[in-house]
Amino acid sequence: MKEEEFNQDEVSLSWKEELEQDVREETIDEKIERRLEEMSKRRLEEKQEAENAKQQQKALWASKKINKFDKLRYREQKCREWEVRIVNQNMKDDKLGLYIHIPFCDRKCDYCDFVSYSMGVDAQHEFKDALFKEIEMYRTQCEKMVFNSIYIGGGTPSVMYEGFIYELARKIYSTFHFEGDIEFTIEVNPNSVTANKLMEYLQAGVNRVSVGVQCIDTKILRNVGRFQTIENIENAFFLLQKMGFINTSADVMIGLPNQSLEAVRETIEYLVEKNVKHISVYTLQVEENTQLYKNIKMGKIKPLGDEACIKMYELVNKMLKKAGFVRYEVSNFAIPTYESRHNFKYWKDVDYLGLGVSAHSFLEGYRFNNTPRLDEYIDLINNGNLPVINRDFIRDSERRTEYIMLSLRLATGLNLEKFRKRFKEDLLKTRATQIQNLIKNGYVYIEDGFLKIAEQHFYVSNRIILELL
Protein backbone atom coordinates (compact mmCIF):
# COMPACT_ATOMS: atom_id res chain seq x y z
CA MET A 1 0.00 0.00 0.00
CA LYS A 2 2.67 2.44 0.95
CA GLU A 3 4.57 1.70 -2.26
CA GLU A 4 1.39 2.24 -4.30
CA GLU A 5 0.66 5.53 -2.56
CA PHE A 6 4.21 6.63 -3.18
CA ASN A 7 3.86 5.85 -6.88
CA GLN A 8 0.64 7.86 -7.11
CA ASP A 9 2.32 10.84 -5.51
CA GLU A 10 5.21 10.46 -7.93
CA VAL A 11 2.82 10.36 -10.91
CA SER A 12 0.98 13.40 -9.57
CA LEU A 13 4.20 15.31 -9.13
CA SER A 14 5.32 14.40 -12.63
CA TRP A 15 1.98 15.60 -14.04
CA LYS A 16 2.31 18.95 -12.25
CA GLU A 17 5.78 19.42 -13.63
CA GLU A 18 4.52 18.69 -17.15
CA LEU A 19 1.69 21.18 -16.70
CA GLU A 20 4.08 23.88 -15.55
CA GLN A 21 6.28 23.07 -18.54
CA ASP A 22 3.30 23.41 -20.90
CA VAL A 23 2.09 26.77 -19.57
CA ARG A 24 5.46 28.47 -19.19
CA GLU A 25 6.12 31.41 -21.48
CA GLU A 26 7.75 30.64 -24.82
CA THR A 27 11.31 31.76 -25.36
CA ILE A 28 12.08 34.11 -28.23
CA ASP A 29 13.62 31.29 -30.28
CA GLU A 30 10.57 29.07 -29.71
CA LYS A 31 8.23 31.86 -30.81
CA ILE A 32 10.25 32.37 -33.97
CA GLU A 33 10.34 28.65 -34.76
CA ARG A 34 6.59 28.35 -34.18
CA ARG A 35 5.93 31.31 -36.47
CA LEU A 36 8.10 29.82 -39.20
CA GLU A 37 6.26 26.50 -38.91
CA GLU A 38 2.91 28.29 -39.20
CA MET A 39 4.09 30.13 -42.31
CA SER A 40 5.38 26.92 -43.88
CA LYS A 41 2.04 25.21 -43.26
CA ARG A 42 0.15 28.17 -44.73
CA ARG A 43 2.38 28.10 -47.81
CA LEU A 44 1.45 24.47 -48.46
CA GLU A 45 -2.24 25.28 -47.96
CA GLU A 46 -1.99 28.16 -50.46
CA LYS A 47 -0.41 25.83 -53.00
CA GLN A 48 -3.27 23.36 -52.63
CA GLU A 49 -5.90 26.12 -52.78
CA ALA A 50 -4.35 27.49 -55.97
CA GLU A 51 -4.36 24.04 -57.59
CA ASN A 52 -8.00 23.45 -56.59
CA ALA A 53 -9.08 26.81 -58.00
CA LYS A 54 -7.22 26.08 -61.24
CA GLN A 55 -8.92 22.72 -61.65
CA GLN A 56 -12.36 24.22 -60.94
CA GLN A 57 -11.86 26.88 -63.58
CA LYS A 58 -10.68 24.30 -66.13
CA ALA A 59 -13.76 22.20 -65.43
CA LEU A 60 -16.02 25.24 -65.84
CA TRP A 61 -14.51 26.31 -69.15
CA ALA A 62 -14.59 22.71 -70.40
CA SER A 63 -18.34 22.52 -69.88
CA LYS A 64 -20.16 22.43 -73.22
CA LYS A 65 -23.07 24.28 -71.63
CA ILE A 66 -21.07 27.53 -71.47
CA ASN A 67 -20.61 29.28 -74.79
CA LYS A 68 -18.11 32.04 -75.56
CA PHE A 69 -20.50 34.90 -74.76
CA ASP A 70 -21.41 33.37 -71.42
CA LYS A 71 -17.74 32.94 -70.54
CA LEU A 72 -17.04 36.63 -71.13
CA ARG A 73 -20.12 37.69 -69.17
CA TYR A 74 -19.25 35.32 -66.34
CA ARG A 75 -15.70 36.64 -66.21
CA GLU A 76 -16.89 40.28 -66.12
CA GLN A 77 -19.31 39.49 -63.32
CA LYS A 78 -16.68 37.64 -61.28
CA CYS A 79 -14.17 40.46 -61.75
CA ARG A 80 -16.67 42.99 -60.39
CA GLU A 81 -17.47 40.75 -57.43
CA TRP A 82 -13.81 40.25 -56.60
CA GLU A 83 -12.96 43.93 -56.97
CA VAL A 84 -15.45 44.68 -54.21
CA ARG A 85 -14.52 41.66 -52.09
CA ILE A 86 -10.77 42.23 -52.25
CA VAL A 87 -11.02 45.89 -51.27
CA ASN A 88 -13.69 45.40 -48.60
CA GLN A 89 -11.81 42.56 -46.91
CA ASN A 90 -8.61 44.55 -46.74
CA MET A 91 -10.36 47.72 -45.59
CA LYS A 92 -11.26 45.87 -42.37
CA ASP A 93 -7.61 45.17 -41.55
CA ASP A 94 -6.41 47.61 -38.88
CA LYS A 95 -3.11 45.99 -37.90
CA LEU A 96 0.15 47.80 -38.63
CA GLY A 97 2.55 47.18 -41.47
CA LEU A 98 6.35 47.15 -41.15
CA TYR A 99 8.44 48.47 -44.05
CA ILE A 100 12.22 48.19 -44.23
CA HIS A 101 14.22 50.02 -46.88
CA ILE A 102 17.44 48.41 -48.11
CA PRO A 103 19.51 51.20 -49.74
CA PHE A 104 21.76 49.06 -51.96
CA CYS A 105 21.76 48.08 -55.65
CA ASP A 106 24.21 46.50 -58.07
CA ARG A 107 23.95 49.71 -60.06
CA LYS A 108 21.47 52.55 -60.41
CA CYS A 109 19.07 52.44 -63.38
CA ASP A 110 18.93 55.62 -65.46
CA TYR A 111 15.29 56.33 -64.51
CA CYS A 112 15.65 55.56 -60.79
CA ASP A 113 14.94 58.35 -58.31
CA PHE A 114 14.90 56.09 -55.23
CA VAL A 115 17.60 56.19 -52.58
CA SER A 116 20.15 53.49 -53.38
CA TYR A 117 23.91 52.99 -53.25
CA SER A 118 26.25 50.62 -55.03
CA MET A 119 28.59 49.51 -52.23
CA GLY A 120 30.31 46.37 -50.96
CA VAL A 121 29.70 43.88 -48.16
CA ASP A 122 31.49 45.99 -45.52
CA ALA A 123 29.01 48.83 -46.04
CA GLN A 124 26.14 46.34 -45.89
CA HIS A 125 27.34 45.06 -42.51
CA GLU A 126 27.69 48.61 -41.21
CA PHE A 127 24.14 49.37 -42.35
CA LYS A 128 22.86 46.18 -40.72
CA ASP A 129 24.35 47.13 -37.36
CA ALA A 130 22.69 50.56 -37.53
CA LEU A 131 19.36 49.10 -38.69
CA PHE A 132 19.26 46.64 -35.79
CA LYS A 133 19.90 49.51 -33.37
CA GLU A 134 17.05 51.49 -34.97
CA ILE A 135 14.72 48.49 -34.58
CA GLU A 136 15.65 48.29 -30.91
CA MET A 137 14.88 52.00 -30.46
CA TYR A 138 11.22 51.34 -31.35
CA ARG A 139 10.78 48.36 -29.00
CA THR A 140 9.14 50.34 -26.17
CA GLN A 141 7.03 52.65 -28.39
CA CYS A 142 5.61 49.71 -30.35
CA GLU A 143 5.24 47.38 -27.36
CA LYS A 144 1.41 47.38 -27.50
CA MET A 145 1.10 47.60 -31.29
CA VAL A 146 0.17 44.60 -33.43
CA PHE A 147 1.68 44.03 -36.88
CA ASN A 148 0.63 41.58 -39.59
CA SER A 149 2.73 42.50 -42.63
CA ILE A 150 6.42 42.94 -43.41
CA TYR A 151 7.67 44.48 -46.64
CA ILE A 152 11.39 44.63 -47.45
CA GLY A 153 11.97 47.01 -50.34
CA GLY A 154 14.69 49.20 -51.75
CA GLY A 155 16.97 49.55 -53.50
CA THR A 156 17.42 45.87 -54.15
CA PRO A 157 17.11 43.69 -51.02
CA SER A 158 18.33 40.63 -52.94
CA VAL A 159 21.83 42.15 -53.35
CA MET A 160 22.43 41.86 -49.61
CA TYR A 161 24.90 39.26 -48.41
CA GLU A 162 23.62 35.76 -47.68
CA GLY A 163 22.26 35.47 -44.16
CA PHE A 164 21.16 39.10 -43.81
CA ILE A 165 17.43 38.53 -44.38
CA TYR A 166 17.37 35.63 -41.92
CA GLU A 167 19.16 37.71 -39.27
CA LEU A 168 16.78 40.59 -39.93
CA ALA A 169 13.69 38.38 -39.66
CA ARG A 170 14.77 37.03 -36.27
CA LYS A 171 15.43 40.56 -35.03
CA ILE A 172 11.99 41.71 -36.22
CA TYR A 173 10.14 38.73 -34.71
CA SER A 174 11.88 39.18 -31.36
CA THR A 175 11.15 42.94 -31.19
CA PHE A 176 7.63 43.48 -32.55
CA HIS A 177 4.35 41.68 -31.89
CA PHE A 178 2.76 39.87 -34.86
CA GLU A 179 -0.64 38.24 -35.05
CA GLY A 180 -2.65 36.32 -37.61
CA ASP A 181 -1.68 35.36 -41.14
CA ILE A 182 1.45 37.43 -41.77
CA GLU A 183 2.25 38.63 -45.28
CA PHE A 184 6.04 38.84 -45.62
CA THR A 185 7.19 40.37 -48.93
CA ILE A 186 10.67 40.90 -50.29
CA GLU A 187 11.62 42.67 -53.53
CA VAL A 188 14.19 41.01 -55.77
CA ASN A 189 15.87 41.75 -59.07
CA PRO A 190 16.27 38.81 -61.48
CA ASN A 191 20.04 39.19 -61.78
CA SER A 192 20.65 38.83 -58.02
CA VAL A 193 18.37 35.85 -57.28
CA THR A 194 20.12 32.65 -56.22
CA ALA A 195 18.91 29.31 -54.86
CA ASN A 196 20.75 29.89 -51.58
CA LYS A 197 19.12 33.26 -51.04
CA LEU A 198 15.64 31.93 -51.79
CA MET A 199 16.19 29.08 -49.34
CA GLU A 200 17.24 31.67 -46.77
CA TYR A 201 14.07 33.70 -47.46
CA LEU A 202 11.95 30.61 -46.89
CA GLN A 203 13.66 29.95 -43.59
CA ALA A 204 13.11 33.59 -42.63
CA GLY A 205 9.37 33.27 -43.21
CA VAL A 206 9.10 35.18 -46.52
CA ASN A 207 5.91 34.09 -48.30
CA ARG A 208 5.62 36.69 -51.06
CA VAL A 209 8.28 37.69 -53.59
CA SER A 210 8.05 40.73 -55.86
CA VAL A 211 10.25 40.49 -58.95
CA GLY A 212 11.43 43.62 -60.77
CA VAL A 213 10.81 42.43 -64.33
CA GLN A 214 9.78 45.76 -65.95
CA CYS A 215 10.06 44.34 -69.51
CA ILE A 216 11.40 41.14 -71.06
CA ASP A 217 12.98 42.95 -74.03
CA THR A 218 16.67 43.38 -73.19
CA LYS A 219 17.24 46.19 -75.72
CA ILE A 220 14.42 48.30 -74.28
CA LEU A 221 15.80 47.86 -70.77
CA ARG A 222 19.32 48.82 -71.82
CA ASN A 223 17.97 52.08 -73.23
CA VAL A 224 17.18 53.08 -69.65
CA GLY A 225 20.30 51.63 -68.05
CA ARG A 226 18.80 48.42 -66.68
CA PHE A 227 21.13 45.53 -67.41
CA GLN A 228 19.20 42.32 -66.95
CA THR A 229 18.42 39.70 -69.55
CA ILE A 230 15.59 37.34 -70.33
CA GLU A 231 17.94 34.59 -69.10
CA ASN A 232 18.11 36.32 -65.69
CA ILE A 233 14.32 36.59 -65.56
CA GLU A 234 13.84 32.99 -66.68
CA ASN A 235 16.27 31.77 -64.03
CA ALA A 236 14.56 33.79 -61.30
CA PHE A 237 11.11 32.32 -61.99
CA PHE A 238 12.54 28.83 -62.39
CA LEU A 239 14.13 29.05 -58.94
CA LEU A 240 11.02 30.59 -57.36
CA GLN A 241 8.86 27.75 -58.63
CA LYS A 242 11.44 25.13 -57.68
CA MET A 243 11.61 26.50 -54.12
CA GLY A 244 7.81 26.45 -53.81
CA PHE A 245 7.01 30.17 -53.78
CA ILE A 246 3.35 30.45 -54.82
CA ASN A 247 2.64 34.10 -54.07
CA THR A 248 4.80 35.87 -56.64
CA SER A 249 4.39 39.39 -57.94
CA ALA A 250 6.03 41.26 -60.81
CA ASP A 251 6.61 44.93 -61.55
CA VAL A 252 6.02 46.00 -65.15
CA MET A 253 6.83 49.37 -66.71
CA ILE A 254 5.06 50.94 -69.67
CA GLY A 255 6.01 54.07 -71.57
CA LEU A 256 9.67 53.11 -71.83
CA PRO A 257 11.58 54.69 -74.76
CA ASN A 258 11.21 52.57 -77.93
CA GLN A 259 8.71 50.28 -76.20
CA SER A 260 5.96 49.01 -78.49
CA LEU A 261 2.52 47.56 -77.81
CA GLU A 262 3.88 44.20 -78.94
CA ALA A 263 6.68 44.40 -76.36
CA VAL A 264 4.11 45.06 -73.63
CA ARG A 265 1.97 42.18 -74.90
CA GLU A 266 4.92 39.77 -74.83
CA THR A 267 5.83 40.77 -71.26
CA ILE A 268 2.28 40.23 -69.95
CA GLU A 269 1.93 36.92 -71.81
CA TYR A 270 5.23 35.77 -70.34
CA LEU A 271 4.22 36.62 -66.75
CA VAL A 272 0.82 34.96 -67.10
CA GLU A 273 2.55 31.86 -68.46
CA LYS A 274 4.84 31.89 -65.40
CA ASN A 275 1.78 31.77 -63.16
CA VAL A 276 2.52 35.12 -61.49
CA LYS A 277 -0.28 35.99 -59.05
CA HIS A 278 0.08 39.76 -58.88
CA ILE A 279 1.25 42.38 -61.37
CA SER A 280 1.94 46.06 -60.68
CA VAL A 281 1.99 48.27 -63.77
CA TYR A 282 3.76 51.62 -63.63
CA THR A 283 4.16 54.28 -66.27
CA LEU A 284 7.70 55.58 -66.63
CA GLN A 285 8.09 58.87 -64.77
CA VAL A 286 11.01 61.01 -65.87
CA GLU A 287 12.36 62.55 -62.69
CA GLU A 288 14.89 65.37 -62.54
CA ASN A 289 18.37 64.53 -61.31
CA THR A 290 18.28 61.16 -63.07
CA GLN A 291 20.45 60.03 -65.96
CA LEU A 292 17.35 59.45 -68.08
CA TYR A 293 16.28 63.07 -67.61
CA LYS A 294 19.72 64.21 -68.77
CA ASN A 295 19.64 61.86 -71.79
CA ILE A 296 16.24 63.21 -72.85
CA LYS A 297 17.40 66.81 -72.43
CA MET A 298 20.42 66.07 -74.62
CA GLY A 299 18.19 64.46 -77.25
CA LYS A 300 19.74 61.00 -76.88
CA ILE A 301 16.38 59.43 -76.02
CA LYS A 302 12.86 60.34 -77.08
CA PRO A 303 10.10 59.66 -74.52
CA LEU A 304 6.75 58.18 -75.53
CA GLY A 305 3.67 60.40 -75.50
CA ASP A 306 0.57 60.10 -73.31
CA GLU A 307 -1.51 58.51 -76.07
CA ALA A 308 0.93 55.61 -76.49
CA CYS A 309 1.01 55.07 -72.70
CA ILE A 310 -2.79 55.01 -72.49
CA LYS A 311 -2.96 52.35 -75.23
CA MET A 312 -0.40 50.25 -73.37
CA TYR A 313 -2.32 50.51 -70.11
CA GLU A 314 -5.60 49.57 -71.82
CA LEU A 315 -3.90 46.56 -73.43
CA VAL A 316 -2.54 45.40 -70.06
CA ASN A 317 -5.96 45.79 -68.43
CA LYS A 318 -7.65 43.81 -71.20
CA MET A 319 -5.09 41.01 -71.19
CA LEU A 320 -4.98 40.59 -67.42
CA LYS A 321 -8.76 40.63 -67.08
CA LYS A 322 -8.94 37.84 -69.66
CA ALA A 323 -6.30 35.92 -67.67
CA GLY A 324 -8.39 36.08 -64.50
CA PHE A 325 -6.72 39.05 -62.80
CA VAL A 326 -8.74 41.71 -61.00
CA ARG A 327 -7.69 45.36 -61.10
CA TYR A 328 -8.26 46.36 -57.50
CA GLU A 329 -6.24 49.59 -57.67
CA VAL A 330 -5.14 51.82 -60.56
CA SER A 331 -1.71 50.19 -60.88
CA ASN A 332 -2.33 46.81 -59.28
CA PHE A 333 -3.82 43.61 -60.68
CA ALA A 334 -4.14 40.31 -58.83
CA ILE A 335 -5.52 36.82 -59.06
CA PRO A 336 -8.25 36.88 -56.36
CA THR A 337 -6.82 36.49 -52.80
CA TYR A 338 -3.30 37.44 -53.94
CA GLU A 339 -3.58 41.23 -53.61
CA SER A 340 -0.86 43.08 -51.68
CA ARG A 341 -2.25 43.31 -48.16
CA HIS A 342 0.68 45.44 -47.01
CA ASN A 343 0.08 48.12 -49.64
CA PHE A 344 -3.56 48.38 -48.64
CA LYS A 345 -2.37 49.93 -45.39
CA TYR A 346 -1.05 52.91 -47.35
CA TRP A 347 -4.31 53.29 -49.24
CA LYS A 348 -6.63 53.10 -46.27
CA ASP A 349 -4.98 55.34 -43.70
CA VAL A 350 -3.62 52.61 -41.40
CA ASP A 351 -0.46 53.15 -39.35
CA TYR A 352 2.81 51.73 -40.62
CA LEU A 353 6.40 51.90 -39.43
CA GLY A 354 9.27 52.43 -41.85
CA LEU A 355 12.85 51.58 -40.92
CA GLY A 356 16.10 52.06 -42.80
CA VAL A 357 17.57 54.81 -44.95
CA SER A 358 14.88 57.18 -46.35
CA ALA A 359 12.01 55.05 -45.00
CA HIS A 360 8.68 56.79 -44.33
CA SER A 361 6.27 56.15 -41.45
CA PHE A 362 2.75 57.09 -40.40
CA LEU A 363 2.38 56.44 -36.70
CA GLU A 364 -0.07 57.80 -34.10
CA GLY A 365 -1.11 60.75 -36.25
CA TYR A 366 2.41 61.73 -37.29
CA ARG A 367 4.07 61.27 -40.66
CA PHE A 368 7.86 61.21 -40.54
CA ASN A 369 10.80 60.03 -42.61
CA ASN A 370 14.41 59.03 -42.16
CA THR A 371 17.37 60.73 -43.74
CA PRO A 372 18.15 59.59 -47.31
CA ARG A 373 21.90 59.79 -46.64
CA LEU A 374 23.49 56.52 -45.61
CA ASP A 375 26.39 58.14 -43.71
CA GLU A 376 24.06 60.46 -41.78
CA TYR A 377 21.70 57.56 -41.00
CA ILE A 378 24.54 55.53 -39.47
CA ASP A 379 26.04 58.48 -37.57
CA LEU A 380 22.72 59.54 -36.01
CA ILE A 381 21.94 56.01 -34.81
CA ASN A 382 25.44 55.36 -33.50
CA ASN A 383 25.10 58.55 -31.44
CA GLY A 384 21.87 57.28 -29.89
CA ASN A 385 19.45 59.31 -32.04
CA LEU A 386 16.63 58.23 -34.34
CA PRO A 387 17.50 59.07 -37.98
CA VAL A 388 14.26 61.05 -38.46
CA ILE A 389 14.69 64.37 -40.28
CA ASN A 390 11.05 65.41 -40.88
CA ARG A 391 8.09 64.91 -38.55
CA ASP A 392 4.64 66.45 -39.11
CA PHE A 393 1.28 65.99 -37.45
CA ILE A 394 -1.31 65.27 -40.15
CA ARG A 395 -4.39 67.42 -39.65
CA ASP A 396 -7.87 66.41 -40.76
CA SER A 397 -7.72 68.78 -43.74
CA GLU A 398 -4.72 66.89 -45.09
CA ARG A 399 -6.27 63.50 -44.28
CA ARG A 400 -9.41 64.55 -46.14
CA THR A 401 -7.38 65.22 -49.29
CA GLU A 402 -5.51 61.92 -48.98
CA TYR A 403 -8.72 60.01 -48.28
CA ILE A 404 -10.28 61.26 -51.53
CA MET A 405 -7.14 60.60 -53.59
CA LEU A 406 -6.48 57.11 -52.26
CA SER A 407 -10.11 55.94 -52.19
CA LEU A 408 -10.71 56.87 -55.81
CA ARG A 409 -7.64 54.89 -56.86
CA LEU A 410 -9.36 51.75 -55.55
CA ALA A 411 -11.82 49.79 -57.67
CA THR A 412 -14.57 50.21 -55.06
CA GLY A 413 -14.20 53.98 -55.03
CA LEU A 414 -15.02 56.44 -52.26
CA ASN A 415 -17.58 55.53 -49.60
CA LEU A 416 -19.64 58.73 -49.43
CA GLU A 417 -21.33 57.93 -46.10
CA LYS A 418 -18.08 56.93 -44.43
CA PHE A 419 -16.48 60.13 -45.75
CA ARG A 420 -19.37 62.21 -44.34
CA LYS A 421 -19.04 60.65 -40.89
CA ARG A 422 -15.25 60.84 -40.86
CA PHE A 423 -14.87 64.45 -42.04
CA LYS A 424 -18.31 65.94 -41.25
CA GLU A 425 -18.74 66.85 -44.92
CA ASP A 426 -21.26 65.83 -47.55
CA LEU A 427 -19.11 65.66 -50.67
CA LEU A 428 -22.19 65.56 -52.90
CA LYS A 429 -23.04 69.04 -51.64
CA THR A 430 -19.62 70.65 -51.22
CA ARG A 431 -18.47 69.43 -54.65
CA ALA A 432 -21.88 69.23 -56.30
CA THR A 433 -20.97 71.16 -59.47
CA GLN A 434 -17.73 69.25 -60.05
CA ILE A 435 -19.33 65.84 -59.45
CA GLN A 436 -22.30 66.61 -61.70
CA ASN A 437 -20.00 67.70 -64.52
CA LEU A 438 -17.84 64.59 -64.13
CA ILE A 439 -20.90 62.33 -64.15
CA LYS A 440 -22.33 64.14 -67.18
CA ASN A 441 -19.09 63.61 -69.12
CA GLY A 442 -18.87 59.95 -68.11
CA TYR A 443 -15.78 60.23 -65.94
CA VAL A 444 -17.36 59.12 -62.65
CA TYR A 445 -20.57 57.48 -61.44
CA ILE A 446 -22.26 56.69 -58.13
CA GLU A 447 -23.14 53.09 -57.29
CA ASP A 448 -24.44 51.74 -53.97
CA GLY A 449 -23.24 54.82 -52.10
CA PHE A 450 -19.74 54.80 -53.62
CA LEU A 451 -18.30 57.45 -55.94
CA LYS A 452 -16.27 55.63 -58.59
CA ILE A 453 -14.13 56.50 -61.58
CA ALA A 454 -15.38 54.92 -64.80
CA GLU A 455 -13.17 52.01 -65.86
CA GLN A 456 -12.19 53.53 -69.20
CA HIS A 457 -10.83 56.61 -67.40
CA PHE A 458 -8.87 54.86 -64.64
CA TYR A 459 -5.56 55.67 -66.29
CA VAL A 460 -6.19 59.44 -66.03
CA SER A 461 -7.62 59.19 -62.52
CA ASN A 462 -5.27 61.84 -61.12
CA ARG A 463 -6.77 64.50 -63.39
CA ILE A 464 -10.26 63.51 -62.27
CA ILE A 465 -9.34 63.43 -58.59
CA LEU A 466 -7.97 66.98 -58.73
CA GLU A 467 -11.48 68.20 -59.61
CA LEU A 468 -12.77 66.90 -56.26
CA LEU A 469 -10.11 68.19 -53.85
Tell me the pLDDT tens digit for each residue of 127-150. Answer: 999 999 999 999 999 999 999 999
Q: Which residue has the higher pLDDT, 420 or 59?
A: 420
- Residue 60 has a pLDDT of 57
pLDDT band at 11 (very low <50, low <70, confident <90, very high): very low
Distance CA 448, CA 117 (A): 48
Lowest mean pLDDT among 3-7, 89-93, 104-108, 424-428: 3-7
Q: Which residue has the higher pLDDT, 153 or 112?
A: 153
Burial grade of 441 (CB within 10 A; 0-12, 13-18, 19 or more): exposed
- Architecture per CATH, 89-347: Alpha-Beta Barrel (3.20)
DSSP secondary structure, 130-167, as one string? HHHHHHHHTTTTTTT-EEEEEEEEES-GGGSPTTHHHH
Is the alpha carbon torsion for 413, 399, 427, 461 positive or negative?
Answer: negative
pTM: 0.82
Angle at 84 between CA 80 and CA 85, to 5 degrees: 110
CB distance 235 to 188 below 8 Å: no
Q: Which residue has the higher pLDDT, 7 or 37?
A: 37
The enclosing H or E element of 360 equals strand 360-363
Lowest mean pLDDT among 6-10, 233-237, 459-463: 6-10
- Residue 15 has a pLDDT of 39
Most confidently modeled range among 45-49, 92-96, 125-129, 177-181: 125-129
CB distance 336 to 85 below 8 Å: yes
- Report the candidate in 146, 58, 111, 67 with the shortest Cα–Cα distance to residue 352: 146
pLDDT band at 10 (very low <50, low <70, confident <90, very high): very low
Q: Which residue has the higher pLDDT, 131 or 226?
A: 131
pLDDT at 33 over 80: no
Q: Which residue has the higher pLDDT, 97 or 31?
A: 97
Domain boundaries, the chain: 89-347, 396-402+412-466
